[in-house]
């Protein structure tokens, strides 16, 4: 119960600003019927309860299943098996993703039923399966850095984008955002963390992120190829008329069984795959199995309540606010879009899951507050620009989308490596069920009220903008952090020094030698230690250092620590002295990397045998 209350407290902090903004709008420029406002309040309560239970269930179930699946993949020696399991995982967790089904139905409605919702879902899920299998193969092989892999992927996307219309470009990138929703993201994050932990190595921290970003690229490729292969360029159909449901409780009760069915179908594929693998491979104990089953039930219950609240309380409200704000003042529409972006992204369930993983992997040295501030600003600007696109027909989606992703790819080669994976993952998690319902409905409502706008062309694309913003903003943040860190190292290098913590010891005494180096140099230290007689070592990864090593972000007042590695060598005092002397003779390894000094800080402790 304590965990549930902690989750609820976190959700309240992110839900409260949305409720306040909606209330302010309904008291000033937006006229809303009482039953719609009542459904919004009930939906908010369901969202609070559902999201809290959902996050609790994810901790117990999806994280455990992801780690078990990661072990199976990482220990496999057969390429075909890795690719097939990777495809199945990507396909099965996507084909029943509620966010994607919501988007498919909205595309079907907006296109006058010329595009079938289920067909869109299957095409997108196939694309996800293919890219996930390739992403897992890249991680396990270690032959290509993540930023290079994503740069090549988006190069292919940019080339294909030249041959499709703006409608399909918007649908492709919207599908990308909707794919990584409340269910797929937690599982993908747990799978990536498990794979990186098992593989280990000096890139383990950065490899703990990135699979969600890989998943996000699959739908774009699939939809663009669909347009090119079928030869369909434009969608010439009138959207279905918008009908507001009446009543407060009745619409929620009508929606509840539908949402329950969709949520159950969403969980069934990955649950079935887990039980099949458990029967033949995992064979986990009864206590662990019951914990996972309990977590799955909590996840299902939370997902049902969350989606019921969002679809019943937020969908109509978003559409009405978009319509009335656009009719009131088009300039005010841009401002409201900005404010929505600031707060709605923090309500996405997957944002919370990503934040917890960032804290776990980096030991809290990348502050979640900083990530959330960056996400809020990026998404706010993205939604505001989407409103500009609706207001001014000459402004097209690709004016922002293609240059934004190109800039993000370029920044990824200068950014801190850990930020690169987080950035691409954040692009997926930021565009979840709240964006797919409330924000998309808001955009479509605004587009329906402006004569020069088109619901199919301008109403869609907002999810794409939301998915692009975190990739660009966090890569810029990572580049800034890397630049400041390099500058700090260049102006205040730390000298190599050996500091015995205790008095003289005999040459036969056992000591523990701790060698603190910059990231990427631990393997060289181990090789050097073995060359003078040390028999082994342990490498620890993390972030930290003295106060002078921190990078303080301007205005935000948030401090970041540099990445470090600590090599622990248990050996005799004489060998330890040889290791220290040899490190001093090499200049702390900094001769090997120009402009990136790697001075070592050495500490020695005696080992007492009790």
Is residue 562 within 8 Å of residue 545, measured between CB atoms?
yes
What count of residues does the chain have? Answer: 610
How confident is the model at residue 290, as a pLDDT? 93
pLDDT per residue as tens digits for the range 32-60 = 888 888 988 898 888 888 888 887 888 88
Non-local CB neighbours of 199 within 8 Å, separated by 6+ positions: 74, 139, 140, 142, 207
Q: Is the pLDDT of residue 131 over 50?
A: yes
Per-residue DSSP letters for 275-296? HHHIIIII---HHHHHHHHHHH
pLDDT reported for residue 592: 35
Helix (H) and strand (E) counts in the chain: 24, 7
Single out the residue of 157, 168, 268 nearest to residue 221, CA to CA: 157
- Select the more confidently predicted residue: 481 or 507: 481
Structure tokens at 572: 């005799």
Average pLDDT, the chain: 77
Structure tokens at 121: 């879902």
CA 442 to chain centre: 24
pLDDT over 70 at 132, yes or no: yes
Residue 591 has pLDDT above 80, yes or no: no
SS3 helix, strand, coil % of the chain, rounded to 5? 70, 5, 25
Could you tell me the residue ranges of all domains in the chain? 2-235+251-486, 497-606
Question: Which percentage of the chain shows pLDDT scores above 90?
Answer: 5
Lowest mean pLDDT among 78-92, 128-142, 321-335, 356-370: 356-370
**What percent of the chain lies above the pLDDT cut of 70?**
77
| pLDDT the model gives residue 338 | 92
Q: How far is CA 285 from CA 67, 267, 279, 289, 291, in A?
A: 15, 22, 11, 6, 10
The correct CATH number of 497-606 out of 3.30.70.120, 3.40.50.720, 3.30.360.10, 3.20.19.10 is 3.30.70.120
Does the pLDDT at position 419 exceed 60? yes
Distance of CA 138 to the CA centre of its chain: 18
User: Among 392-396, 527-531, 547-551, 566-570, which is the least confidently predicted range?
Assistant: 547-551
Q: In this predicted structure, what is the pLDDT of residue 293?
A: 92
Distances (CA, A) of 317 to 106, 239, 247, 278, 411: 16, 19, 14, 44, 38
Phi, psi of 605 (to 5 degrees): -130, 135
Closest among 562, 380, 387, 582 to 473, alpha carbons compared: 380
Q: State the CB neighbour count (10 A cutoff) for residue 183.
A: 29
More reliable by pLDDT, 237 or 392: 392
Q: Is the pLDDT of residue 589 over 70?
A: no
Band of residue 604 on the pLDDT scale cut at 50, 70, 90: low
Helix (H) or strand (E) holding 498, with range, is strand 497-500
pLDDT of residue 384: 92
Quote the CA–CA distance of 361 and 418 in Å, as a whole number: 10
Say what the pLDDT of residue 351 is: 77
Report pLDDT digits (tens) over 519-549.
667 777 777 777 777 877 777 766 555 444 5
The two beta strands, 538-543 and 510-518, are: unpaired
Q: What is the pLDDT of residue 544?
A: 57
The pLDDT tens digits of the residues spanning 186-244 come to 777 778 777 777 766 566 666 777 788 888 888 889 888 988 887 776 665 555 556 67
Q: Which is more confidently placed, 246 or 338?
A: 338
Residue-wise pLDDT for 447-471, tens only, equals 888 888 777 667 677 877 888 888 8
pLDDT of residue 556: 45
Q: Which of 37, 416, 398 is nearest to 247 (CA)?
A: 37
- Pick from 5, 179, 214, 188: nearest CA to 102: 179
Residue 498, phi then psi, degrees to nearest 5: -110, 130
């Amino acid at each position: 119960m304590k965990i549930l209350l902690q989750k609820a407290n976190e959700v309240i902090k992110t839900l409260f600003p949305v409720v306040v903004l909606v209330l302010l709008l309904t008291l000033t420029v937006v006229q809303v019927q009482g039953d719609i406002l009542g459904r919004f309040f009930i939906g908010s309560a369901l969202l609070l309860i559902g999201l809290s239970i959902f996050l609790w269930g994810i901790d117990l179930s999806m994280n455990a299943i992801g780690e078990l699946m990661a072990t199976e993949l990482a220990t496999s020696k057969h390429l075909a098996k890795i690719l097939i399991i990777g495809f199945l995982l990507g396909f099965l967790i996507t084909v029943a993703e509620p966010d994607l089904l919501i988007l498919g139905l909205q595309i079907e409605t907006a296109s006058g039923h010329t595009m079938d919702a289920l067909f869109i879902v299957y095409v997108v899920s196939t694309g996800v399966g293919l890219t996930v299998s390739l992403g897992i193969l890249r991680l396990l092989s270690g032959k290509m850095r993540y930023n290079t892999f994503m740069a090549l992927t988006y190069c292919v996307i940019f080339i294909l984008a030249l041959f499709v219309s703006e409608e399909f470009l918007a649908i492709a990138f919207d599908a990308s955002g909707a794919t990584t929703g409340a269910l797929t993201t937690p599982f993908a994050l747990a799978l990536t963390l498990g794979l990186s932990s098992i593989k280990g190595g000096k890139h383990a921290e950065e490899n703990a992120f990135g699979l969600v970003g890989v998943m996000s690229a699959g739908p774009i490729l699939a939809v663009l190829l669909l347009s090119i292969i079928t030869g369909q360029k434009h969608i010439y159909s009138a959207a279905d008329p918008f009908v507001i449901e009446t009543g407060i409780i009745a619409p929620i009760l009508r929606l509840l069984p539908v949402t329950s069915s969709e949520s159950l179908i969403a969980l069934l594929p990955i649950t079935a795959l887990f039980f099949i693998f458990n029967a033949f491979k995992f064979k986990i104990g009864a206590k662990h199995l019951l914990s996972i089953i309990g977590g799955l039930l909590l996840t299902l219950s939370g997902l049902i309540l969350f989606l019921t609240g969002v679809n019943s309380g937020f969908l109509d409200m978003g559409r009405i606010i978009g319509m009335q704000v656009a009719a009131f003042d088009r300039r005010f529409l841009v401002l409201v879009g900005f404010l929505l972006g600031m707060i709605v992204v923090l309500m996405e369930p997957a944002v919370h899951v990503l934040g917890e993983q960032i804290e776990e992997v980096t030991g809290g040295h990348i502050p979640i507050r900083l990530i959330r501030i960056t996400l809020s600003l990026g998404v706010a600007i993205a939604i505001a620009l989407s409103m500009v696109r609706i207001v001014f027909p000459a402004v097209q989606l690709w004016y922002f989308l293609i240059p934004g992703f190109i800039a993000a790819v370029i920044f990824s080669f200068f950014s801190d490596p850990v930020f690169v994976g987080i950035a691409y993952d954040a692009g997926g998690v930021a565009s979840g069920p709240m964006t797919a319902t409330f924000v998309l409905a808001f955009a479509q409502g605004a587009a329906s009220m402006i004569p020069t706008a088109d619901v199919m062309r301008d109403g869609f694309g907002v999810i794409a903008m939301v998915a692009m913003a975190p990739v660009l903003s966090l890569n810029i943040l990572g580049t800034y952090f890397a630049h400041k860190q390099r500058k700090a190292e260049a102006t205040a290098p730390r000298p190599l020094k050996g500091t015995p913590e205790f008095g003289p010891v005999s040459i036969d005494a056992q000591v523990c030698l701790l060698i603190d180096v910059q990231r990427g140099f631990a393997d060289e230290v181990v090789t050097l230690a073995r060359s003078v007689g040390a028999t082994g070592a342990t490498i620890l990864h993390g972030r930290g250092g003295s106060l002078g090593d921190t990078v303080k972000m301007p205005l935000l007042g948030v401090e970041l620590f540099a990445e470090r590695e600590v090599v622990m060598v248990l050996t005799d005092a004489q060998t330890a002295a040889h290791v220290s002397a040899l490190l001093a003779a090499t200049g702390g390894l900094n001769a090997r990397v120009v402009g990136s000094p790697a001075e070592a800080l050495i500490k020695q402790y005696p080992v007492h045998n009790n």
